[in-house]
Amino acid sequence: MTPRLDALKGKFVQLKQPIRDAVSDTAQVETTVKEIIANVRVRGDAAVREYSLAFDKAHVANFEVTEEEKLKAVADLDPQTREDTEFAIANVRRFAEAQLGTILPLEIESLPGLHLGHRVIPIETIGCYVPGGRYPLLSAPVMTIVPARVAGCDQVIACLPPNAHPAMIAGCHLAGADRIFRVGGAQAIAAMAYGTETIPAVDKIVGPGNAFVNEAKRQVFGQVGIDQLAGPSEIFVVADETANASMIAMDLLAQAEHDVRTRVGVVTTNRKLAEDILSEVENQLENLPTAPVAGVAWKDYGEITVVEDEEAMIAYSDHIATEHLQVHTRDPQATAKKLRNYGSIFIGELASVVYSDKCCGTNHTLPTMGAGRYTGGLWVGSYVKIATHQWLDERGVAAVAPAAVRQSATEKLEGHRRAAALRLSPKQLAAE
């Protein structure tokens, strides 16, 4: 039992427990991914081509999608699908622009003659991994590519599995990708990290993927930046007796249909609500077309926990630190202010995770596996660097150099002492 749960001892009971652990229940892929990265690093396109054939059953003659293919993919989009995609792009762009407006350059004179500041610098080249999934996930390229464009990155490339739906190519193009490549899996991450004859090396890789993609991002971190390590999707709901059991059950199953390893759960202060949600989930699974996926996720990773009061509910939720957190309480705004560990929070029963997943404007690339304890999700700030600078005139040197000289001498770093003293006048130096 963790320290957070230990503090809740005796204050909660689980009406339904998960039978598997979504955090530790992962495929042993480290060795395979290490081989893939090493091979792509040495053999470039040839290795990528071999892995595409082996893993995706696709022989790819030309990795890069041509301009003609991009335009055809857009032209072939159903008109309503294109309109909805552009609606999502506009909303994500609008929110990213507002976020960027809060990230300001800084200039201060902290002491007379000592000028400090920082610049907001777009990362030069971004690599966006766009997952294929069981279905065409049209929102995926929007979430990774649009903020990069808003941030002002020089080049944005996208990699997606070679068998991805053509609509995904259209989504990448409409979102603003400069170049699109038909490469998926760990080999795509390796190619973007180190570059091949065809695929350029990037400075940072963003976007979710399967266990192989996640492990590859972990292994190339340092060579390139990454956004985060994202596991299977998660949703938890905090609820009191005022919540709607049917609505909560539907929201849980909506997220569960992403993957058989989706973690779904409820923590509530009301046992009757918990029992009603359990019954509703089972009933709704009977006529849900995606039940073969959602039902497995619910059986293996579903959880319903009843706690004795709101304080315990808040503590339990903060222990879970879920990716998506929905708040269904009498005063959801007040409850939300008490919560601190989550990827993104959905306040009130009208705020469904599905809206953010698709098109409302907030980013759906979020921390999982408890990472909400220490980080937020992908946002426009993920695509810029805050780089500091300083400059001094003679007054500034007079203010900071003597302390630097003394500290360097104390540390027995003679080179440091001399460099610090070099800019002092002979009179100032004599005083030291």
Please give the single-letter amino acid code of residue 24. S
- Residue of 234, 257, 323, 349 marked catalytic: 323
- Residue of 173, 324, 328, 364 marked catalytic: 324
- Calculate the alpha carbon distances from 190 to 148, 163, 208 in Å: 20, 19, 15
Q: Is 324 a catalytic residue?
A: yes
Compute the Cα dihedral for 337, 244, 137, 36 and give only its sign.
positive
Strand order in the sheet with 263-268: 12-16, 303-307, 263-268, 234-239, 324-328, 344-347
* Residue partners of 296: CB distance under 8 A and separation at least 6: 260
Q: How many CB atoms lie within 10 A of CB 126?
A: 32
159: nearest Cα among 174, 142, 179: 179
Tokens of 90: 């506009």
- For residues 11 and 312, is the Cβ–Cβ distance under 8 A? yes
- For residues 156 and 176, is the Cβ–Cβ distance under 8 A? yes
Q: How many CB atoms lie within 10 A of CB 337?
A: 10
Q: How many CB atoms lie within 10 A of CB 391?
A: 10
* Residue partners of 10: CB distance under 8 A and separation at least 6: none
Catalytic residues: 323-324
